[in-house]
Chains A and B, each alone.
Chain A
Amino acid sequence: MAPPEAVPQVPEAAGDTAATVLEARSVSKRFPGVVALDDVTFSLRAGETHALVGENGAGKSTLIKVLTGVYRPDGGELRMTGEPVRFSRPFEAQQAGISTIYQEVNLVPLMSVARNIFLGREPRNRFGLIDFARMHRETGDLLDGFGVRVDPRRPLHTLGVGTQQMVALARAVSVNAQVVIMDEPTSSLEPREVETLFRVIERLRGQGIAVLYVSHRMDELYRICDRVTVLRDGRHIHTGDLADLDRMQLVSMMLGRDLSEVRRSGVTSFAAEGHEAARTPVLTATGLSSRLQLHDISVSLYAGEVLGLGGLLGSGRSETAKALSGALPLDKGELTVDGTTLKRLTPAAAIRAGISLLPEDRKAEGIVPGLSVRENIVLAAMPRLSRAGVVSRAKQDRIVDIFMKRLRIKASSPEQKVGELSGGNQQKVLLARWLCLEPKVLLLDEPTRGIDVGAKAEVQSLIDDLAREGLAVLLISSDIEELIEGADRIVVLRGGAVAGELSGDDVAEDRLLEVLADHAPQPADRDPAAQEDPR
């Protein structure tokens, strides 16, 4: 973990309780092996729009789930207007006046607009049956107030995502909410829809409703938010007026870098000098486009270099890596490996061409937890290690032995289940899976996230070694030191498009932060829509 601390900010003293509606005091939440929230204190005032920011793993989602009753905190307490509250189910939080709208619309797609809004609290007529006339009328009125005109009878899934989001918001507000939590509400909205959303937020502000606004889009935060709370690594870093911070300060707080601090080199385990890159690219991607996710991205990777892929959360980093490995369906674009253009873009074809991807989500897309270390390592290489479909244990053991030693994988034996290993060792197992294929291009998506310091250092020097041995490495990391010191060149993404490229002496923190926090308007062709998971 990055040792430097940001300006130690004392959390808001609970002095101005008069205006405070919701408060979290010293809230902690632990999961097996992970402290997701560590003594977090923060408060929401009536009528304010409060930004909650932080990079991956900062604890934003966990905090939201604690506030909405999905998780119960292990320590600390929640207070609503000064009174301690405990929520054991989401329903109780809603009853207390906390409504939430999620990034993925959490409504029932096949049910009608009106039914979704009134689900669980339908108006009844005198026979105790649902009064649809009234339900439809009230739905129409409610949505009219948001400037949305839609037939309340239409099934939700026939609407655009933005309209669905409005319906979710209408539901959230219509339950007499005092607090509305919005988790990345604009990530799938069109610009026009974003404007509508902002108008609604203004209205809520006027009604004295507190909005907790979670987003990674700087423009939006500065437009509508009054105050901001920054979380990092599960800890509270800062709360204060947004106007007092400029973008650079905010971004550096999120990333755990302080500009006033002298850049110290050697924090990571990367060698100081760069690598000798080849002259011709081994992998060239041109015009990668995927509806709502990637916009005309072109990158080249040279043998023997580490190319960093920078960008804030949601900028399309992981999607780009997925696209390069054939795992993201593309509308346009092609991949050329060593001069040969790939005909079909599938993971299998990319692997055959020598491209390997270490995915970001180790648990969901990487390890097969119930299988042994040995089997996880040879998973992709199995056809090569078998004859006539029968796997050769001798060949497997040889390979597994080599890589367990080389990567120093700590397991009781190659037969231990991967699910029982620590995060760092799981990551090394995945690296071994790809390295034993002898790839030409290695795409690493957050290779050191969630692993311990020792393993992190080992993985970093391994990346160095691999590049020196002539592999082309693409490195994605939210750890800015890792990116700066590890990469020879950095391509920065924003909103699913290339925002800039840093090379030579420009590969430095201040330059990177500048591009990341860019004040300039977004590129015109940028489609501000979905950056969620490609599935």
Chain B
Amino acid sequence: MTQTAVAPPAKSDKPHESASPLARLRDPAWYQRYGVYVAVAVVLLFNALFTDHFMTADNFRTQLVQVAPIVIVALGMALVIGTEGVDLSVGSTMALAAAFLPLYLGYGLVPALVVSLLAGAVVGAVNGALVSLVGLQPIVATLALFVGGRGLALVMADGQLKQIVNPDLLSLGTGSFLGIPLVVLIAGVLAVAVAFLVQRTTFGRQVVAIGGNRSAAALAGLPVKRVLIGVYVLCGVLAALAGILATARLTASDPSSLGTLMELSAITAVVVGGTPLNGGSVRVLGTVAGALLMQLLRATLVKHDLPDSTAQIAQAAIIIAAVYVARERRSR
């Protein structure tokens, strides 16, 4: 007894493609999909008209550099959310990666980077194993490392802020290539890579299929557990990379405050970017735009002398609105 379907009409083949532009504006799905781009455009337009010194290369450079770590973390988060999961531990993972850096910089930049990224991978593997093998809810599974990860980072760093003097690492944070800051370049390349991963690789398509219908994916012979672990590992590694880049920019390893509330920013970027929280779809470009939107919004408020508190309240309202719009589409 699994369905009441009797005789669905034969004629429901047509997609609702003929919707008029006006009807489209009333369709929450449209907002979920394209709302973020419209919002970015509106914010830019507003600033072009009313804000001095906003539409300048310098300002954009600053904004992009600031948003880059969020984008990198959000890319991993988007993959996790695509599987109907969530990773609360990303901020702690950043701190952990930052804490490992100074410990291994003595052996050179590459070993330090490898160790830091590996730490992220381990965190991700633990999360993934708890979700897929033990069968815990993602929130529950990632909560433990959310709590413990930062503590571990602080323990390793002995609760201290450590100055970074390695010039190679610092150049990661401050250097630029063809006028584009390295940090931004890396975020851009990763966005393209993740987009490629999602759109064009077996793994990416399996992620989306598992998020869209897990039991159908399992019945179709997809390696559900392996894919889930892979997704969390990827998310951990990306978070670790974001931690490294942020540390390089700060010129200091600061495990106590690096990445706090990052999980919130990343989830916001993903959700505002139109990826539904109940999985089955990953919008990479939307995620980047979502992160950008929140960044520009904050910058706009700051430039108009509105305090940070207003920005936070606005961000909270936007998250609620984005989730609310996405909720309308839930029809399973």
Query: In the complex, A touching B, CB below 8 Å?
Result: yes
Query: What residues of B have a CB within 8 angstroms of the CB of A411 in the complex?
Result: 13
Q: Give the residues from 28 to 78 in chain A that come closer than 8 angstroms, CB to CB, to chain B.
A: 31, 33-36, 56-57, 59-62
Choose among A350, A371, A382, A451 the residue that contacts B212 (Cβ–Cβ < 8 A): A371
B7 proximal to A (CB < 8 A) = yes
B14 proximal to A (CB < 8 A) = yes
Please state if B9 and A452 are interface contacts (CB–CB under 8 Å): yes
Please state if B221 and A347 are interface contacts (CB–CB under 8 Å): yes
A194 proximal to B (CB < 8 A) = no
Please state if A368 and B1 are interface contacts (CB–CB under 8 Å): no
Please state if B202 and A365 are interface contacts (CB–CB under 8 Å): no
Please state if B202 and A389 are interface contacts (CB–CB under 8 Å): yes
Query: What residues of B have a CB within 8 angstroms of the CB of A351 in the complex?
Result: 220-221
A455→B11 CA distance, assembly (Å): 11
Please state if B15 and A416 are interface contacts (CB–CB under 8 Å): yes
Please state if B216 and A366 are interface contacts (CB–CB under 8 Å): yes
Choose among B12, B15, B221, B280 the residue that contacts A368 (Cβ–Cβ < 8 A): B280
How many chain A residues touch B (CB < 8 A): the figure is: 69
Choose among A31, A234, A365, A369 the residue that contacts B219 (Cβ–Cβ < 8 A): A365
Please state if A347 and B218 are interface contacts (CB–CB under 8 Å): yes
Closest to A454 in B: B10
Please state if A327 and B219 are interface contacts (CB–CB under 8 Å): yes
Residue interface mask B5-45, A partner, CB < 8 A = 1 = 11111111111110000000000000000000000000000
Query: What residues of B have a CB within 8 angstroms of the CB of A96 in the complex?
Result: none
Closest to B278 in A: A370
> In the assembled complex, how far is the CB of residue B283 from the closest CB belonging to chain A, in whole angstroms?
12
Choose among A371, A383, A420 the residue that contacts B208 (Cβ–Cβ < 8 A): A371
Please state if B213 and A325 are interface contacts (CB–CB under 8 Å): no
Query: What residues of A have a CB within 8 angstroms of the CB of B332 in the complex?
Result: 369
A410 proximal to B (CB < 8 A) = yes
Query: What residues of A have a CB within 8 angstroms of the CB of B6 in the complex?
Result: 34-36, 57, 59, 233-234, 450
Query: What residues of A have a CB within 8 angstroms of the CB of B5 in the complex?
Result: 34, 57, 423, 449-450
Known contacts A57-B3, A59-B4; is-contact A412 B14 (Cβ 8 Å): yes
A445→B16 CA distance, assembly (Å): 31
Please state if B201 and A33 are interface contacts (CB–CB under 8 Å): no
Please state if B4 and A368 are interface contacts (CB–CB under 8 Å): no
A175→B294 CA distance, assembly (Å): 54
> In the assembled complex, how far is the CB of residue B17 from the closest CB belonging to chain A, in whole angstroms?
7
Please state if B4 and A421 are interface contacts (CB–CB under 8 Å): no
Closest to A411 in B: B13
Closest to B209 in A: A368
> In the assembled complex, how far is the CB of residue B279 from the closest CB belonging to chain A, in whole angstroms?
9
Most B Cβ at <10 Å: residue of A33, A35, A379, A391? A379
A148 proximal to B (CB < 8 A) = no
Please state if A380 and B4 are interface contacts (CB–CB under 8 Å): no
B223 proximal to A (CB < 8 A) = yes
Please state if A421 and B216 are interface contacts (CB–CB under 8 Å): no
B126 proximal to A (CB < 8 A) = no
For chain B, the bracket of interface size reads: 35 or more
Please state if B2 and A422 are interface contacts (CB–CB under 8 Å): no
B281 proximal to A (CB < 8 A) = yes
Closest to B7 in A: A1
Please state if B8 and A423 are interface contacts (CB–CB under 8 Å): yes
A451→B1 CA distance, assembly (Å): 17
Choose among A57, A313, A375, A455 the residue that contacts B209 (Cβ–Cβ < 8 A): A375
B51 proximal to A (CB < 8 A) = no
Please state if A361 and B2 are interface contacts (CB–CB under 8 Å): yes
Please state if A361 and B3 are interface contacts (CB–CB under 8 Å): yes
A506→B6 CA distance, assembly (Å): 30
Please state if A371 and B1 are interface contacts (CB–CB under 8 Å): no
Query: What residues of B have a CB within 8 angstroms of the CB of A412 in the complex?
Result: 14-15, 17
Residue interface mask A258-276, B partner, CB < 8 A = 1 = 0000000000000000000
> In the assembled complex, how far is the CB of residue B197 from the closest CB belonging to chain A, in whole angstroms?
9
B222 proximal to A (CB < 8 A) = yes
A379→B5 CA distance, assembly (Å): 25
Query: What residues of A have a CB within 8 angstroms of the CB of B93 in the complex?
Result: none
Please state if B219 and A36 are interface contacts (CB–CB under 8 Å): no
B217 proximal to A (CB < 8 A) = yes
Query: What residues of A have a CB within 8 angstroms of the CB of B215 in the complex?
Result: 364-365
> In the assembled complex, how far is the CB of residue A370 from the closest CB belonging to chain B, in whole angstroms?
4
> In the assembled complex, how far is the CB of residue B194 from the closest CB belonging to chain A, in whole angstroms?
14
B54 proximal to A (CB < 8 A) = no
A320 proximal to B (CB < 8 A) = no
Please state if B12 and A370 are interface contacts (CB–CB under 8 Å): no
Known contacts A56-B3, A361-B2; is-contact A368 B216 (Cβ 8 Å): yes
Please state if A379 and B280 are interface contacts (CB–CB under 8 Å): no
A425 proximal to B (CB < 8 A) = yes
Q: Give the residues from 409 to 442 in chain A that come closer than 8 angstroms, CB to CB, to chain B.
A: 410-412, 416-417, 420-425, 433
Please state if A386 and B201 are interface contacts (CB–CB under 8 Å): yes
Q: Give the residues from 353 to 372 in chain A that come closer than 8 angstroms, CB to CB, to chain B.
A: 357, 359-371
A31→B4 CA distance, assembly (Å): 9
Most B Cβ at <10 Å: residue of A351, A364, A382? A382
Please state if B7 and A35 are interface contacts (CB–CB under 8 Å): yes
Please state if B201 and A391 are interface contacts (CB–CB under 8 Å): yes
A34→B9 CA distance, assembly (Å): 7
> In the assembled complex, how far is the CB of residue B318 from the closest CB belonging to chain A, in whole angstroms?
24
Please state if A379 and B12 are interface contacts (CB–CB under 8 Å): no
> In the assembled complex, how far is the CB of residue A180 from the closest CB belonging to chain B, in whole angstroms?
20
Query: What residues of A have a CB within 8 angstroms of the CB of B11 in the complex?
Result: 422
Please state if B1 and A61 are interface contacts (CB–CB under 8 Å): yes
B104 proximal to A (CB < 8 A) = no
Please state if B205 and A422 are interface contacts (CB–CB under 8 Å): no
Listed in ascending order, the chain B residues whose CB lies under 8 Å from chain A are 1-17, 200-203, 205-206, 208-209, 212-213, 215-223, 280-281, 332
Q: A368-B280, A369-B280 are in contact. List 9 more A-B contacts (CB 8 A).
A: A233-B6, A360-B2, A361-B2, A361-B3, A364-B216, A390-B200, A421-B12, A423-B8, A450-B5
Question: Which A-B residue pairs are the 5 nearest by beta carbons?
Answer: A450-B5, A452-B10, A33-B8, A348-B221, A368-B212
Show 6 A/B contacts (Cβ-Cβ < 8 Å), sorted by A. Answer: A36-B6, A57-B4, A375-B205, A412-B17, A422-B9, A433-B220
